[in-house]
């Protein structure tokens, strides 16, 4: 099992291959539909010259996401004595972010995307170009994964986007995942789909 520490170098990412289990430690950010659209509209489409009101957050996100990790997650969060903690932190189905993900990977030089279900061709091509991987987290294990979230450092856009869609900046330790899309053009999701279709054709044909 490979141990990954954020920020992650391109060299380390290029060494990973599909099917390899990893445990991840460091500071990462959650981000779902609203977060990805926000990044596209304010940072990607402006060529890295965001509106003045968004420049401070842009600088903070650059620090977090450059050679970093974004997690497709809509957490269940509790607040006690002014401190946030994750009650549940299961992965969101990632294909919803396919229209945005390649541009986000390239803009920030992301090294990993965590989610469930895999992503499409554009994301896979961006992983090859930039040096990134898709990490499949365990679906249905939201409470277990939350144990890997050791600290909620801050949150951005919570009031605007709502709790599930906000940028939650978290420190994780030994977050378990599996590489299912690598930087060499391999996708375990595509392979399984192809094998399933072939088996289905065989069964129908028989």
Query: What DSSP character marks residue 66?
Result: T
Give bridge partners of residue 170 from the DSSP assignment.
28, 152
Give bridge partners of residue 27 from the DSSP assignment.
171
Indicate if 184 belongs to the active site. no
What tokens does 55 get? 């420049």
- Measured between alpha carbons, how far is residue 12 from residues 23, 29, 95, 108, 115 in Å? 13, 20, 25, 17, 20
Which candidate in 36, 72, 136, 189 is catalytic?
A: 36
Query: What DSSP character marks residue 41?
Result: I
By C-alpha distance, which of 68, 98, 187, 73 is closest to 134? 187
Instruction: Give dist(CA 108, CA 59) in Å, integer.
Output: 11
* Cα angle 132-116-120, degrees, rounded to a multiple of 5: 55
- State the DSSP H helix or E strand holding residue 18, giving kind and residue range, or none if neither: none
Q: Are 55 and 63 in contact (CB under 8 A)?
A: no
Q: State the catalytic residues.
A: 36
């Amino acid at each position: 099992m490979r141990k990954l520490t954020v920020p992650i170098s391109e060299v380390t990412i290029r060494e990973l291959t599909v099917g390899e289990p990893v445990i991840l430690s460091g500071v990462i950010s959650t981000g779902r539909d609203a977060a990805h659209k926000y990044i596209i509209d304010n940072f990607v489409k402006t060529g890295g010259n965001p509106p003045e009101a968004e420049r401070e957050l842009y600088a903070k996100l650059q620090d977090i996401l450059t050679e970093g990790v974004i997690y497709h997650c809509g957490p269940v969060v509790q607040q006690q004595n002014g401190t946030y903690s994750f009650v549940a932190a299961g992965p969101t189905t990632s294909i919803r972010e396919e229209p945005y993900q390649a541009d986000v990977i390239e803009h920030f030089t992301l090294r990993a995307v965590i989610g469930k279900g895999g992503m499409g061709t554009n994301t896979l091509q961006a992983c090859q170009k930039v040096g990134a991987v898709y990490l499949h987290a365990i679906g249905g294990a939201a409470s277990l994964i939350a144990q890997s979230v050791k600290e909620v450092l801050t949150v951005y856009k919570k009031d605007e986007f709502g709790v599930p869609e906000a940028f939650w900046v978290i420190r994780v330790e030994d977050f378990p995942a599996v590489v299912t899309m690598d930087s060499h053009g391999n996708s375990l999701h595509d392979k399984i789909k192809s094998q399933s279709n072939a088996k289905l054709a065989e069964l129908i044909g028989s």
